[in-house]
Structure 1
Amino acid sequence: MSKPISLVEGVTFQSMHVGRIPKGLREPPTPAGARPFVGHSHIWNGNATCNPSETQLVKWAREYGEIYQIWQGMERWVIVCLPEAVKEIFDKHGTVTGSKARLRVAMDVLSGGFRMLFMPYGKHWRAVRSVVHQCLSITSAEKMKPSQDLESRRYLYDVLTDPENFLVHVRRYTASVIMYSTYGRRVTSLDDPTYQAIFEEAQVFGVVFGTRFMVDKYPILEKLPKFLQWWRAKYEPYHQKEVELWMGLWNGLKEQLASGIHTGCFVKKFMEVDYPKMGISEIEAAYVAGTLIEAGSDSTQNTLNSLILGLVAFPETVKAAHEELDSVVGDRLPQFEDSQRLPYIRAMVKEVMRWRSVSNDHFAHLSTGDVVYKDYFIPAGTVIVGNTWALHYDPERYPEPGRFNPARFLGTRALELSAGECINVSDPCDRDHWSFGAGRRVCPGYTLAENSLFILTARLLWAFDIIAPVDTATGK
Structure 2
Amino acid sequence: MPSSSLRALDALAAAAAVYLVKQLIDQWKERLPLPPGPPGVLLRLPFFGNMFNLPKHHEWIHYADWSREYKSDIVHFSVGREHVIVLNSAEAATDLFDKRSAIYSDRPWTTMSSELVGFGYWNIVFMPYSPQNPTLWRDHRRVFDRQMSPDGVKRFRPQETLAVHEMLRRLLAAPQDYADHARHMAGQTILSIAYGLDVKPTDDPYIKIGEIANDIVAATTVPGSWLVDALSFLKYVPAWFPGAGFKRQANEWRRVADAMLNEPFEITKAAMAQGTARDSVTALLLQELEDGPDRAYKERLIKGATAIMYGAGSDTTVVVIENFFLAMTLYPQVLARAQAEVDRVVAGQRLPDFDDQPSLPYITAILKELLRWQQVDTLAVPHKVTEDDVYRGYFIPRGSTIIGNAWAILHDEKTYPDPHTFKPERWLLPDGSLDPDAKDPTPFFGFGRRLCPGRHLATESMWLSLACIIATFSISKACDEDGNEITPEIVYNTALLSHPAPFPTVVLPRSRGHEASIRDL
TM-score range, shorter chain: 0.7 to 0.9
Alpha-carbon deviation of 1:97? 1.1
Q: Does the 8 A contact of 1:106 with 1:205 survive in 2?
A: yes
Distance in 2 (CA, whole Å) between partners of 1:65 and 1:269 is 50
Distance in 2 (CA, whole Å) between partners of 1:183 and 1:407 is 39
Alpha-carbon deviation of 1:66? 2.3
Instruction: Give the secondary-structure state (helix, strand or coil) at the position aligned to 1:452.
Output: helix
Q: 1:415 to 1:40 in 2, by over 3 A?
A: farther
Q: 1:386 to 1:278 in 2, by over 3 A?
A: farther
Matched, 1:72 2:99: no
Of residues 422, 428, 450 in structure 2, which corresponds to 1:404?
Answer: 422
Of residues 345, 367, 373 in structure 2, which corresponds to 1:355?
Answer: 373
Matched, 1:371 2:383: no
Distance in 1 (CA, whole Å) between partners of 2:30 and 2:117 is 44
What whole-Å deviation, never above 9, does each CA across 1:52-79 have from its counterpart, x for those lacking one? 6xx1111012232322212223211111
Instruction: Give the secondary-structure state (helix, strand or coil) at the position aligned to 1:191.
Output: coil
Q: Which residue of 2 aligns with 1:92?
A: 99
Alpha-carbon deviation of 1:382? 0.8
Q: Which residue of 2 aligns with 1:395?
A: 413
Instruction: Give the secondary-structure state (helix, strand or coil) at the position aligned to 1:37.
Output: helix
Q: Which residue of 2 aligns with 1:172?
A: 184
Q: 1:68 to 1:208 in 2, by over 3 A?
A: closer
Q: Which residue of 2 aligns with 1:439?
A: 448
Matched, 1:312 2:329: yes
Matched, 1:47 2:57: yes
Q: 1:405 to 1:186 in 2, by over 3 A?
A: farther
Question: What aligned pairs does 1:286-301 form with structure 2 within 5 A after superposition?
Answer: 286-301=303-318
Of residues 457, 464, 479 in structure 2, which corresponds to 1:455?
Answer: 464
Distance in 1 (CA, whole Å) between partners of 2:208 and 2:126 is 25
Question: What aligned pairs does 1:236-275 form with structure 2 within 5 A after superposition?
Answer: 236-272=251-287, 274=289
| Structure 1 alignment gaps of length 5 or more | 1-18, 418-426
What whole-Å deviation, never above 9, does each CA across 1:212-260 have from its counterpart, x for those lacking one? 2112123354576787693333322432344345322112111222233
Q: Does the 8 A contact of 1:177 with 1:186 survive in 2?
A: no
What whole-Å deviation, never above 9, does each CA across 1:4-63 have from its counterpart, x for those lacking one? xxxxxxxxxxxxxxx9563698334322432233333344346317xx6xx111101223
Of residues 126, 134, 140 in structure 2, which corresponds to 1:118?
Answer: 126
What whole-Å deviation, never above 9, does each CA across 1:154-194 have from its counterpart, x for those lacking one? 22222222222222211111111111111112324232233
Of residues 249, 272, 280 in structure 1, which corresponds to 2:297?
Answer: 280
Alpha-carbon deviation of 1:141? 1.0
Amino acid at match of 1:297: S
Q: Does the 8 A contact of 2:235 with 2:247 survive in 1?
A: no
Q: 1:374 to 1:411 in 2, by over 3 A?
A: farther
Instruction: Give the secondary-structure state (helix, strand or coil) at the position aligned to 2:102.
Output: helix
What whole-Å deviation, never above 9, does each CA across 1:370-424 have from its counterpart, x for those lacking one? 2333433322111111011210111111111111111111139x9566xxxxxxx
Distance in 2 (CA, whole Å) between partners of 1:243 and 1:396 is 44
Distance in 1 (CA, whole Å) between partners of 2:222 and 2:311 is 14
Of residues 66, 69, 92 in structure 2, which corresponds to 1:60?
Answer: 66
Q: 1:475 to 1:72 in 2, by over 3 A?
A: same
Distance in 1 (CA, whole Å) between partners of 2:175 and 2:314 is 21
Q: Which residue of 1 aligns with 2:342?
A: 325
Q: Does the 8 A contact of 1:44 with 1:56 survive in 2?
A: no
Matched, 1:31 2:37: yes
Amino acid at match of 1:251: E
Q: Does the 8 A contact of 1:28 with 1:67 survive in 2?
A: no
Of residues 213, 227, 239 in structure 2, which corresponds to 1:214?
Answer: 227
Q: Which residue of 1 aligns with 2:162?
A: 150
Instruction: Give the secondary-structure state (helix, strand or coil) at the position aligned to 1:430.
Output: coil
Q: Which residue of 1 aligns with 2:439?
A: 430
Q: Does the 8 A contact of 1:362 with 1:385 survive in 2?
A: yes
**CA RMSD, 1 decimal:** 2.9
Q: Does the 8 A contact of 2:74 with 2:88 survive in 1?
A: yes
Aligned residues: 444
Q: 1:450 to 1:77 in 2, by over 3 A?
A: same
Alpha-carbon deviation of 1:149? 1.1
Matched, 1:160 2:177: no
Q: Does the 8 A contact of 2:372 with 2:410 survive in 1?
A: yes
Distance in 2 (CA, whole Å) between partners of 1:351 and 1:344 is 10
Instruction: Give the secondary-structure state (helix, strand or coil) at the position aligned to 2:36.
Output: coil
Alpha-carbon deviation of 1:107? 1.5
Alpha-carbon deviation of 1:298? 0.7
Instruction: Give the secondary-structure state (helix, strand or coil) at the position aligned to 1:96.
Output: coil
Between stretches 399-408 and 198-207, larger displacement belongs to 198-207
Instruction: Give the secondary-structure state (helix, strand or coil) at the position aligned to 1:141.
Output: helix
| Structure 2 alignment gaps of length 5 or more | 1-24, 486-521
Amino acid at match of 2:201: S
